[in-house]
A and B are shown apart, each in its own frame.
Chain A
Amino acid sequence: MIGGVLESLYGLFGEWWIIPRLIEMFVVVSIIIGFISVAAMFLIWWERKISAHIQVRFGPMRVGGWHGWAQSIADGIKLLLKEDIIPARADRPIFILAPMVVFASALAAYVVIPFGPGLIVQDLNIGILYIIAISSLAVLGIIMAGWSSNNKYAALGALRSAAQAVSYEIPLIISLLGPLLIVGSLSMTKIVEAQYVPFILVQPLAFLIYFTCAVAETNRLPFDIPEAESELVAGFHVEYSGMRFAIFFMAEYANMFVVCAIATTVFLGGWKGPLLPPVAWFLIKTFFLLFVMMWLRWTLTRTRVDQLMNVAWKVLLPLAFVNLGITGLVMLLYPVG
């Protein structure tokens, strides 16, 4: 039906077809931004509740009545009302540009996330390569933020963050190549359609490597050296206040959703599942992985920086290559599977 309406709209504008096209794209991007905002606010509330319950506390209970569900909304409004402080010694243009780079790269990753059959903004044929490329842009934003703050904590946090992000990116990409060998396509939709059984059963090692790297890529415990509150205060965004800080925070949760959505798409069968509608299955699987991430946070302790680099280069990278080699060999010997 929507397609029909669009067709008639395009006909109406004739050679000005660009106008309905822009309106269409604007509506789509608004829906995605709305989804990110709601998901980020929900995840922040959810993380606080999970953290609290793991530590036998209650967490936020008052705002909004039922288990403090409106806490994140209240926090968001508070951040909107806070003064915007740009330190006098900061490198102003880069300081202002950094949150834009981080948020735009997080948002652009949603172009190829398949929420359901056909429910994808644009099924690019290089889907997964695109998502890896665009999400690595966030490192640039982090470096820009850390550098331009002209603050020791921020500079150290940004450097560590960059070192960590580039180190874990390699095993992450190579672990994804195992499933891609089987699928023979980079399109996110085709990856889901190719999974008659979820790839986690075929490629358990690849999933473990991917998920470890994903936790590290999003700078979460046990790999949160870049943000280590107890030594670096907050890392690269220590000088950011008010809405600028909120944008970083939102982009962080948006990125968490993206890495879990990739894991769902590539390893857990995406939107496939019985009884419930596809979108529900996709969200259930993704939010379950997000829950695991929060769970890890309170189960494992922070690693040291040398352990962190050792795990990436001396454990995960060789393992990822072994996984890729075995996958290739098995496919060569049993071409049908």
Chain B
Amino acid sequence: MAADYAYVLFFLIIGALFVVFNIDILSRLIRPSKPNPTKLSTYECGEDPIGGPWLRIHVRYYLFALVFIIFAVETVFLFPWAIVYRSLGLFAFVEMMIFIVILLIGLAYAWATGALEWV
């Protein structure tokens, strides 16, 4: 079973190596390299950058991330349910509907309290 995933590991490694090969070997041999301070400055429409970008981030990103995590975990439960659904029948249907409805109440709550508003 684990041997099935040899390709996954191999693809990930070769994918990273392909990038290294292209940038640090193939391209390095033929490209120019004449850095100067202006060239290496951060791009901001030709101006000198004012302040850094690593600022406080708006809290709405955090709210969406939280809602996402709830539903992402839910989908992990939904996959095995979908696979054995045929053999379990009514029980599986009712069981999962209760689960989904509880989560949908959570979504409705987030909706009602304005967590889904992008302001």
Contact surface of A with B, Cβ cutoff 8 Å: 21, 25-26, 28-29, 32-33, 80-90, 99-101, 103-108, 110-111, 121-122, 124-125, 129-130, 134, 147, 149-156, 159, 162-163, 166-167, 169-170, 173-174, 177, 180-181, 184-186, 233, 238-239, 242-244, 246-247, 305-306, 308-310, 313-314, 317-318, 321, 324-325, 328-329, 331-332, 335
Q: Once the chains are docked, how many angstroms separate the CA of A233 from the CA of B49?
A: 15
For B44, give its contact among A108, A151, A329 (CB under 8 Å): A151
Contact surface of B with A, Cβ cutoff 8 Å: 4-8, 10-16, 18-20, 22-23, 26-28, 30-35, 37, 39-44, 49, 52-54, 57, 61, 64-65, 67-68, 71-72, 75, 78-79, 82-86, 89-90, 93, 96-97, 100, 104, 107, 111, 116-119
Residue pair B67, A313 in contact (C-beta under 8 Å): yes
For B111, give its contact among A156, A173, A246, A314 (CB under 8 Å): A314
Main secondary structure on B side of the interface with A: helix
Q: Closest approach, in angstroms, between the C-beta of B80 and any C-beta of chain A?
A: 9
A151 with B31, Cβ < 8 A, contacts A108-B12, A110-B11, A170-B68 known: no
Residue pair A108, B8 in contact (C-beta under 8 Å): yes
A-B CB pair tally, cutoff 8 Å:
208
Q: Which residues of A contact B33 (CB under 8 A)?
A: 83-84
A29 with B64, Cβ < 8 A, contacts A122-B7, A151-B44, A177-B82 known: no
Residue pair A185, B83 in contact (C-beta under 8 Å): yes
Name A180's closest neighbour in chain B (CB-CB).
B82
Q: Which residues of B contact A90 (CB under 8 A)?
A: 42
Q: Once the chains are docked, how many angstroms separate the CA of A152 from the CA of B31?
A: 28
Q: Closest approach, in angstroms, between the C-beta of B15 and any C-beta of chain A?
A: 3
Residue pair B8, A167 in contact (C-beta under 8 Å): no
Q: Which residues of B contact A173 (CB under 8 A)?
A: 75, 78
Q: Closest approach, in angstroms, between the C-beta of B5 and any C-beta of chain A?
A: 7
Residue pair B85, A184 in contact (C-beta under 8 Å): yes
